[in-house]
Homo-oligomer: A and B are copies of this chain.
């Protein structure tokens, strides 16, 4: 029996619950923050649209980019002309999704050279005493400060969006791999065997007036292999190693050389810069540090090594580089247009199919782009940030 919510949609969590639907107005594939938000906004803007949200894993999905996203909102990353959208996202994160651990947390963007809007970083230590010892003011003497920056948990946003979409009437089908087909999707409902293998329990063909492909880094691949539609998008494998140097709620977020030190769980999550996309066919592999295999990929290791003098904690055993790839949290990140600096986007791929991508700038802009697609599908002209 499908689970029921009082006035909301149905939820199918496992293959024991029979799925007998044959058609929806809209199917959103992927319940990460982009797909979840799009589903929620669409139900809010067009309550009569029959909507199914399909997710390969659970809610939240443990394998996508959302759960590992840094959750750092900063105006410094927002492209010119997108400031109002970013401000709307910030307000929404602070107020609209319940407890997503949203909190103002200034960001110090540290530099070796002088530049517009940069202050002497040594002077900032009086204002941000918790940053003492995290960076060397002699190596990074200048800093821009974003006092409006904030941190939050993108995984909690995705969870809230999915749950609220269901309460608003969306149906939710979990543990199901959706393949794109002309005019709809083919659904593989997945289950786990006694020997922990994931197998397809049953397959359904579903008609859909419109499909929103919100599968993160897998979206462009699915569009190409299942619909034959080539896109210019790329992907990169991003690892987020842990740095066990103490942090508090008052520790600012730091960034140097593109590397973000994001205070989290009493330490730091390191968010390395994305220099460019990874080539097709690349399989992530760990690197070597002074001959010893580690779990951090070589390119990330090089970024960390380069910054060790400027960020002394990186040169201590507080840095967790792991022994193998499995030791270091990492995920494939979509790169809109194959680049690391492009904002989230949606793209009309073909009649009845939209692609929705978050990527590196999803933290400050993702919700607005998900809203924009929902409003377009709903035929609504206004945008709340305009």
Contacts and interface: CB of A to CB of B under 8 A. Distances in A.
A299 B280 contact: yes
Contacts of A281: 282-285, 297-298
A305 B228 contact: no
Interface stretch (A48-56, A135-143, A207-215, A271-279): A271-279
A271 B204 CA distance: 47
Nearest first, the 3 A-B pairs at minimum CB distance are A280-B298, A281-B285, A276-B276
A291 interface: yes
Q: Chain A, interface size: which category?
A: 20 to 34
Contacts of A291: 228
A302 interface: yes
Interface in A271-329: 275-276, 278-285, 287, 290-291, 297-299, 302, 305
A80 interface: no
A232 interface: yes
Given A280-B299, A285-B281, A290 B228 contact: yes
Most B CB within 10 A of own CB, among A276, A279, A280: A279
Contact of A280 (B276, B285, B290): B285
A82 interface: no
Interface string A156-196: 00000000000000000000000000000000000000000
A290 B229 CA distance: 9
Nearest to A284: B281
A230 interface: yes
Given A276-B276, A281-B285, 10 more contacts: A230-B305, A278-B279, A279-B279, A279-B282, A279-B298, A280-B298, A281-B282, A281-B283, A281-B297, A282-B282
B280 A287 contact: yes
A82 to B, nearest CB: 25
Nearest to A290: B228
A336 to B, nearest CB: 15
A105 B284 CA distance: 43
A314 B228 CA distance: 21
Nearest to A302: B232
A276 B305 CA distance: 20
Interface string A3-15: 0000000000000
Nearest to A224: B288
A280 B297 contact: yes
A339 to B, nearest CB: 10
Contacts of A283: 281
Nearest to A275: B276
A273 to B, nearest CB: 13
A291 B276 CA distance: 25
Contacts of A297: 279-281
A287 B230 CA distance: 12
Contacts of A299: 279-280
Nearest to A298: B280
A222 to B, nearest CB: 14
A16 to B, nearest CB: 37
A211 to B, nearest CB: 20
Nearest to A338: B302
Nearest to A285: B281
